[in-house]
Structure 1
Amino acid sequence: MAKPIPSPLYEKIPQKNTLHRASEVTIFFLLLSLLAYRLLSLKNNGFTWLLAFLCESWFTFIWILNLSSKWNPVSYKTYPERLLQSYRVDELPPVDMFVTTADPMLEPPIITVNTVLSLLAVDYPANKLSCYVSDDGASPLTFFALLEASKFAKLWEEYEELRRRIEDATVKSISYELSTADFVAFSNIKKGSHPTIIKVILENKESRSDGLPHLVYVSREKHPSIHTITKRGAMNVLTRVSGAMTNAPFMLNVDCDMYANNPQIFIIQCVCSSVPRMNRTAVSGIAGLQGPNYSGTGCFHRRKVIYGLWPDGRMEFKGRIGLSGISDCPYDLSNRVEAAHQIASCSYEYGTNWGTKIGWLYGTTTEDILTGGPAALIQQKRWATGLLEVLFSKNSPFIVTFTAKLQFRQCLAYMWIISWGLRPIPELCYLALPAYCIMAGSHFLPNVQDPGVLISISLFVSYNFHTLLEYWGAGYSIRACWNNLRMWRITAVTAWLFGFLSVILKLLGLSETVFEVTKKDQSTTPGEGSDKDSGRFTFDGSLIFVPATTLLLVHLMALVTALLGLFDLVGIESRIGEIICSVWVVLCFSPFLKGLFGKGKYGIPKSTICKSAALAFLFLACTITVRK
């Protein structure tokens, strides 16, 4: 009797998006109509009209990319209950889990421990799991925290006691521990100069499915004379070390401030669907093309794919990768440590394809919305910088479309993501136009009596309705939609602007981009902080806040001049559109307006206000000069 064909473990379901398509096409035609109107009336208007036309041309281009990316959305429905009906537990594939951290001060060890514990506790056979923690800071504090976490995982004692011990070690010192055998390797550590450290903290020697997964600490070698690639280099080291020790066919990488909140995530995502987990910010439309983009964390990968092979390709490592494959998952990890040390050295990759054709490719700072604050904006700056570096590199989607098997629409989808980094210039110019027109006595919008004003009004209403529809469909509130709309504006003229400038300086050979570790927040007590302050925008003395503060002050000055009738030659009614736009910009930057009067970390520092005020008055002086 023939063996019955097993039911599929997942199903790819096209999503109905008729309403969204209609909304997006409507906005597209309104954008084209606005461009046509501006082009036809360009001779009768001045510089502001031309600048608005150029900015709106960019917005139209971005909307075309957006339209193509979202046109065929799909979702994946998984059937985990069918898995064990078709396969035995011992037939499930092994998974290597990667957790990355770099600085115990910016990324407190208790956060890393929480991430590791959540991964060790997933609903999956323990003998099929291995967790590798990469510590780029080679910190004995991080290693101590993982040792304590391993004891906790064995006993599952009171969590508060575990947290207390780790936080006490963070505040005080663990120098007394350095004399023990476990900490000998950390005794002469210097920042940026230390040997490879690999420690097997937990080992499931008996291969018990109800035991604990392997837990391995990895700190790659660093030397002052050898340039160290940032997180991408750490990921490549983890890939090689795990290949030498456990060599699971699937890999999961997780940032140290993430955690698995679904214990069945491995069965649902990795085994059933066999596709990378999409980041929430990624659209399902990209999954309907050649698959979703790699979003930096929380993603499953096939090891073969990271090695540059097709999923059904043969594991031919010799020469090309410099690592001989391991056919089975070994259970005596201690015997593999010496080999792992060799491939974690800082000079190992020279003469190999690692970082160029194999593994995570080098050349950018990005890997991988938000309330706001310095840490969030630094992260956004790093993303914008990295995306632009990809755009101007040999791995640009346009180039890969011709040199590899990237489809044209998938190329457009990647361009839609990468274009975030190019957004700040047209966005900043367009945001400054209303204030400039008010103070210069010019205009960039059609007059109220002009029929063309209906195009602008329809476009504004349609776009915001479409955005609200998307957030509502995703289960978000109107307030969440408004907060994200504001943050897109704020991020564009702060983090993304500095990311753009960083890449320009790099292209000119004047500077190198730097990987910046963002500070991870933690609450040491359950009652720390207040609900009133939860999610509030925070500030510091960083220059990253100067452009947005300057823009806000410029618009406040413009509104004051309009209300007082200063520089008024043509009447306020002829610039009512610009005044409404200026009020809208002030509303979008309301966190900065509150920051002008806030205190402590919720207030903009006086030094930032002074710099911004000077730039705002300079803008006013230039406007008056042009007006004359």
Structure 2
Amino acid sequence: MKLRVSATMTNAPIILTLDCDMYSNDPRTPLRVLCYLLNSSTTSTQAQVLDRSTELGYIQFPQHFHGINENDTYACEYKRLFQINSMGLDGLAGPNHVGTGCFFCRRAFFGGPSTFVPPEIPELGPFHVVDKPIRSQPILELAHEVASCNYENQTKWGFEIGVRYGSLVEDYFTGYRLHCEGWKSIFCSPKRAAFLGDAPITLVDVLNQQKRWSIGLLDVVFSKFSHLTFGIRSNIGLLMAIGYAQIGCWAFWSIPITMYAFLPQLALLNGISIFPSVSELWFLLYMFLFLGAYLQDLLDFLFYGGTVQRWWSDQRMWNIRGLTCHFFGFLEFFLKSVGIPTQGFNVTSKVLDDEQSKRYMQGFFEFGVPSPMFVPLTTAAFVNLVSFVWGLVWIFRGSKDVEVEGLFVQIFLAGFGVVNSWPIYEGVVWRRDKGKLHIRTTMISTFLASLLVAAASFATN
């Protein structure tokens, strides 16, 4: 709608998309954009954005936020998504659109570089020149006409023209479709952030936002525009399709994360070894894969200006998201696919409360409200704690009935889970403020953890 209304009033060849909570942080940003968009090889004053032959569709700036606490407790910086991955994709067809901080060529919204799709009204086309004042009666009448939601019925808007619909992540889907049509994009990441915005400061808001993203990404993965079918056959090719698919399949990470959060620990409680012992050669492979993956992730994070503390928050939140929003997003998408009604669209709240802001700046997790997503997270924290303590008991007792050497990996995983779950234990035991874990969540999680431990013991016997 905004695209159509702006076409009737100015029809400027460049369009800036920003979230409502973001603002410009660098007045030189438009000049940086024009350096990419202007054709310096011609002596005319016509910009390359008006050239029908250009393939540059948009310039994407990374998202940056002000007000994030020192250790970025909820990993809202999304350094891998907004910077590291975008830099990698820039070597192919270009970065994906992240919904804000992006300058588009208007022409890119009307078909591919060589397949122009004309709108039903010529005034909405990218090459129309507005020759009347914005407040003139014909302009205002046309603007009101195209602003109607019903205007899109039986038209190509949202499917072949404009921002593409069909997913809760319309930004990701739009960038993906533009790349499939043959458009290129550029990643511009100056030292001074081009734009700044607000980040959520409560855990439930962070997880609700990520759950919405997970559902929207799955909408694309399981649509006729799937990356590994439609994407590979289009202009982006195999590598770019895999890059998009890696983001689109976020919700699938909930499966291995949930398994590693529960199965090794429950087996440990019953003295069952499921990994190689320390003396076996395969043990070295497991340690190499674990340490190698985490070390590579840490080096990438530090190389792009991160800190060790923020990297720790990032990997901890990745595990938390796997047990919460990615899991619930996958479940909600499945229920929606089989026709079972689910919760509607939730806008991420970024309203600042003085007490919440104070706790956030101190690095505390803000639980506060009871949420179903906190239940599996807290249950996993309790199971890991019990299994880790039980594993230490076996070590110090030197039990002859159990080969402790074969349980080392499981004890290590349980200890790793305990360290990552420290904010949860803090929210259950020591916290007395309004941001502590709700008593209802604690009781349900305790019951489920006890049930899992009892069921595992019963199955073993």
TM range, smaller chain: 0.7 to 0.9
- Which residue number in structure 2 is paired with residue 104 of structure 1? none
| Secondary structure in structure 2 of the residue aligned to 1:255 | coil
Deviations 1:13-47 (A, max 9, x none): xxxxxxxxxxxxxxxxxxxxxxxxxxxxxxxxxxx
Which of 55, 60, 71 in structure 2 is aligned with 1:277?
60
Q: Give the one of 264, 279, 291 matched to 1:434.
A: 264
Q: Tell whether 2:134 aligns with 1:333.
A: yes
Deviation digits for residues 92-130 of structure 1 (CA, Å, limit 9, x no counterpart): xxxxxxxxxxxxxxxxxxxxxxxxxxxxxxxxxxxxxxx
The 1:512/1:306 distance shift into structure 2, 3 A limit, reads: farther
Q: Deviations over 1:566-587 (max 9, x none)?
A: 9994143431221111000111
Partner of 2:118 in structure 1?
316
Q: 1:461-476, aligned counterparts within 5 Å?
A: 461-476=291-306
* Cα distance change on mapping 1:528 and 1:294 into 2, 3 Å: closer
Aligned 1:150-549 pairs, distance under 5 A: 237-269=1-33, 271-272=35-36, 275-279=58-62, 281-282=81-82, 283=85, 284-310=87-113, 316-318=118-120, 323=124, 327-329=128-130, 332-335=133-136, 336-368=139-171, 373-401=203-231, 404-512=234-342, 514-522=344-352, 529-530=357-358, 533-539=361-367, 540-549=369-378
Decide whether aligned partners of structure 1 residues 401 and 532 sit closer, same or farther in structure 2, where only a CA change above 3 A counts: closer
SS at match of 2:96: coil
Decide whether aligned partners of structure 1 residues 438 and 617 sit closer, same or farther in structure 2, where only a CA change above 3 A counts.
same
Q: How many residues align?
A: 388
**8 Å CA contact 2:202, 2:366 repeated in 1:** yes
Which of structures 1 and 2 has the bigger CA Rg? 1
Provide the rounded CA distance (Å) in 2 between the counterparts of 1:454 and 1:548: 30
Aligned pair in 2 of structure 1 residues 315, 543: CA closer, same or farther (>3 Å)?
Answer: closer
Deviation at 1:371, TM superposition (A): 6.7
Q: Please report the RMSD computed on the Cα atoms of aligned residues, expressed in angstroms.
A: 2.6
Q: Which moved further from structure 2: 273-282 or 607-616?
A: 273-282
Shift of 1:430: 1.8
Q: 1:322 to 1:435 in 2, by over 3 A?
A: farther
Residue identity matched to 1:249: P
Q: 1:559 to 1:356 in 2, by over 3 A?
A: same
Is the Cα contact below 8 Å between 2:110 and 2:161 reproduced in 1? yes
Deviation, 1:431, is 2.1
Moved over 6 A (4+): none
Residue 332 (structure 1) shift: 1.7
Name the SS for the 1:599 alignment partner: coil
Change over 3 Å in CA distance of 1:247–1:623 after alignment to 2: same
* Residues in 1 aligned to 2:309 and 2:232: alpha-carbon distance in whole angstroms: 43
Contact 2:164/2:170 (<8 A) preserved: no
> What SS does structure 1 have at the residue aligned with 2:17?
strand
Q: Is the 8 A contact 1:424 1:497 kept in 2?
A: yes
1:49-100 deviations in Å (ceiling 9; x for gaps): xxxxxxxxxxxxxxxxxxxxxxxxxxxxxxxxxxxxxxxxxxxxxxxxxxxx
1:413 offset after TM fit, Å?
0.6
CA deviation after TM superposition for structure 1 residue 535, in Å: 4.0
State the shift of 1:242 in Å: 0.9
Equivalent residue for 2:68?
Answer: none
C-alpha distance in 2 between matches for 1:246 and 1:594: 55
Answer yes or no: is the 8 Å Cα contact 1:388–1:422 preserved in 2. no
- Greater displacement, 414-423 / 562-571: 562-571
1:370: how far off?
8.1
How far did 1:401 drift? 2.7
Instruction: Please name the residue that 1:220 is paired with.
Output: none
Q: Tell me how far 1:469 sits from its aligned partner.
A: 0.8
Residue 112 of structure 2: SS of its match in structure 1? coil
Measure how far apart 1:245 and its partner are: 1.3
Post-superposition CA distance 1:280-326 (Å, at most 9, x none): 5242111111111111111121111122232x76573237x994566
Residue 581 of structure 1 is matched in structure 2 by 413
CA distance in 1: counterparts of 2:12 and 2:35, whole angstroms: 13
Equivalent pair of 2:111/2:117 in contact (CA under 8 Å): no
Indicate if the aligned counterparts of 1:378 and 1:495 stay in contact, CA closer than 8 A.
yes
* Alpha-carbon distance, 1:522 to partner: 3.0
1:583 and 1:470 map into 2 onto residues whose CA distance is 25
8 Å contact kept, 1:441–1:627: no
Cα distance between partner residues in 2 of 1:581 and 1:528: 32
Q: Which runs of 5+ in 2 are unaligned?
A: 38-55, 63-78, 172-198
Moved more, 597-606 or 410-419: 597-606
How far apart, CA to CA, are the structure 1 residues paired with 2:162 and 2:360?
Answer: 45
Q: How far apart, in 2, do the equivalents of 1:290 and 1:471 lie?
A: 23
CA distance in 2, matches of 1:617, 1:359: 53
Amino acid at match of 1:243: A
Deviation, 1:446, is: 0.6
**How far apart are residue 362 of structure 1 and its match?**
2.0
Give the letter aligned to residue 545 of structure 1.
F
Judge conservation of contact 1:372–1:536 (CA < 8 Å) in 2: no
SS state at 1:547 partner:
helix
* Alignment counterpart, residue 600 of structure 1, candidates 417, 424, 433: 433
Seen in structure 2, the aligned counterparts of structure 1 residues 413 and 324 have a Cα distance that, compared at 3 Å, is closer
Query: What is the SS of the residue equivalent to 2:141?
Result: helix
- TM-score using structure 1 length: 0.58
1:457–1:408 Cα change, 3 Å: same
Aligned residues of 1:365 and 1:513 also touching (Cα < 8 A):
no
Segments of 5+ residues of structure 1 without an aligned counterpart are 1-236
Give the TM-score of the pair, scaled to structure 2.
0.78
Q: Distance in 1 between matches of 2:323 and 2:34?
A: 38
